[in-house]
């Protein structure tokens, strides 16, 4: 039986639920769930992704709660489950994982428009995989500042870079390594991507990286980018992969 009252604790999956054609069934979301604008505003807020108001979630009487292991805490998920609420929990670490998770979520909610969302992503992903191991560029992607932190080999961002023609210079680490700028120089990235989330990198941060003795600075390949290109799975994946591939391979 399809769920009629859905609470989503994941911004990108909230967007996916609306794209799947089940947005009218979404009754709860986090304050970071801002997409699609104009439609999600009517949905009740249940706190943040890491600090969910579980009481508020339960008060909405959902018959499905949507979560992701990376973005939500185990304690919140377990508390919701112990209250008897069904919870869908994704755990994607690769682009292929994300596609599988989206297809599974579509089955759980019996989404009427899932293929229209997923087929374009499958086509772009297939095209990029078919491009093979052509020229790659060494990439540095910080996700935090003070201290600088980047992404390791067991993260979704790492695989996105790989699929799009980038070689993650922090790929020898796991999870979220702390990296000093002196180490960035030693890693010699050819491209630096500064996303606007989770840390809001902006034009004020460019000078610090252009001052480094790295190929990316010499070749003018330090880019401010929309963080959603790197971290959001859902209907925007086809466009995100295409844009990043064009940026990294140009």
The tokens of 94 are what?
Answer: 């690769």
Number of domains in the chain: 2
Regarding whether 222 and 161 lie in a shared domain, the answer is yes
Residue 134 binned pLDDT confidence (cut-offs 50, 70, 90):
low
Regarding whether 153 and 81 lie in a shared domain, the answer is no
Q: Around 78, how many Cα atoms within 13 Å sit in the side-chain half-sphere? A: 3
| Single residue among 91, 107, 124 that ends a domain in this structure | 91
Residue 172 has pLDDT above 60, yes or no: yes
Q: Is residue 106 part of a domain?
A: no
Residue 194 has pLDDT above 80, yes or no: yes
| Single residue among 91, 109, 129 that ends a domain in this structure | 91
According to the model, what pLDDT value does residue 131 have? 73
According to the model, what pLDDT value does residue 136 have? 86
Regarding whether 146 and 244 lie in a shared domain, the answer is yes
Residue 249 has pLDDT above 90, yes or no: no
**79-129, pLDDT tens digit by residue?**
999 999 999 999 999 999 999 999 999 999 999 999 999 999 999 999 998
Residue 175 binned pLDDT confidence (cut-offs 50, 70, 90):
confident
According to the model, what pLDDT value does residue 229 have? 95
Residues 193-209 have a mean pLDDT of 97
Mean pLDDT of the chain: 95
Q: Which of 163, 135, 139 is nearest to 151 (CA)?
A: 139
Q: Is residue 228 part of a domain?
A: yes
Residues 41-66 have a mean pLDDT of 97
Q: Is residue 132 part of a domain?
A: no
**Is residue 183 within 8 Å of 203, Cβ to Cβ?**
no
CATH number at residue 80: 3.40.50.1980
Regarding whether 243 and 158 lie in a shared domain, the answer is yes
Strands ordered across the beta sheet of 222-225: 166-168, 137-140, 191-195, 222-225
The span from the CA of 232 to the CA of 71, in Å, is 11
Residues 132-142 have a mean pLDDT of 84
pTM: 0.93
Regarding whether 177 and 73 lie in a shared domain, the answer is no
Regarding whether 218 and 148 lie in a shared domain, the answer is yes
Regarding whether 145 and 74 lie in a shared domain, the answer is no
According to the model, what pLDDT value does residue 129 have? 87
Regarding whether 242 and 175 lie in a shared domain, the answer is yes
Regarding whether 85 and 172 lie in a shared domain, the answer is no
Q: Is residue 112 part of a domain?
A: no
Regarding whether 148 and 87 lie in a shared domain, the answer is no
- At residue 239, what are phi and psi to the nearest 5 degrees? -65, -40
Q: Is residue 27 part of a domain?
A: yes
Residue 15 has pLDDT above 90, yes or no: yes
According to the model, what pLDDT value does residue 133 have? 57
- Between helix 95-109 and helix 114-130 the angle, nearest 10°, is 170
According to the model, what pLDDT value does residue 135 have? 76
| Single residue among 91, 125, 159 that ends a domain in this structure | 91
Q: Is residue 120 part of a domain?
A: no
Regarding whether 81 and 176 lie in a shared domain, the answer is no
Q: Which domain holds residue 79?
A: 6-91
Residue 132 binned pLDDT confidence (cut-offs 50, 70, 90):
low
Residues 193-208 have a mean pLDDT of 97
According to the model, what pLDDT value does residue 122 have? 96
| 75-105 exposure pattern, b = at least 16 Cβ within 10 A, e = fewer | ebbebbeeeebebbbbebbbbeebbebbeeb
Q: Is residue 109 part of a domain?
A: no
Q: Is residue 125 part of a domain?
A: no
The span from the CA of 123 to the CA of 99, in Å, is 12
Residues of the chain above pLDDT 70, percent? 99
Regarding whether 237 and 142 lie in a shared domain, the answer is yes
């Amino acid at each position: 039986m399809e769920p009629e009252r859905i609470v989503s604790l994941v911004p990108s999956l909230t967007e996916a639920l609306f794209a799947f054609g089940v947005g009218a069934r979404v009754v709860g979301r986090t304050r970071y769930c801002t997409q699609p604008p104009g439609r999600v505003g009517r949905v009740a807020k249940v706190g943040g992704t890491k600090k969910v108001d579980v009481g508020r979630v339960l008060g909405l009487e959902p018959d499905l709660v949507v979560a992701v292991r990376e973005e939500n805490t185990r304690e919140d998920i377990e508390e919701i489950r112990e209250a008897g609420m069904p919870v869908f929990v994704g755990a994607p670490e690769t682009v292929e994982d994300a596609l599988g998770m989206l297809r599974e979520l579509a089955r759980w909610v019996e989404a009427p428009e899932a293929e229209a969302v997923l087929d374009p992503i499958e086509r772009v992903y297939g095209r990029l995989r078919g491009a093979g191991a052509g020229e790659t560029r060494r990439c540095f992607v910080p996700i935090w500042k003070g201290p600088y932190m980047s992404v390791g080999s067991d993260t979704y961002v790492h695989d996105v870079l790989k699929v799009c023609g980038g070689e993650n210079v922090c790929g020898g680490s796991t999870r979220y390594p702390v990296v000093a700028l002196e180490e960035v120089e030693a890693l010699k990235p050819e491209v630096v991507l500064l996303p606007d989330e989770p840390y809001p990198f902006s034009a004020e941060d460019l000078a610090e990286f252009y001052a480094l003795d790295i190929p990316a600075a010499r070749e003018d390949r330090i880019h401010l980018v929309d963080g959603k290109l790197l971290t959001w799975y859902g209907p925007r994946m086809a466009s995100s992969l295409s844009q990043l591939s064009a940026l990294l391979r140009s």
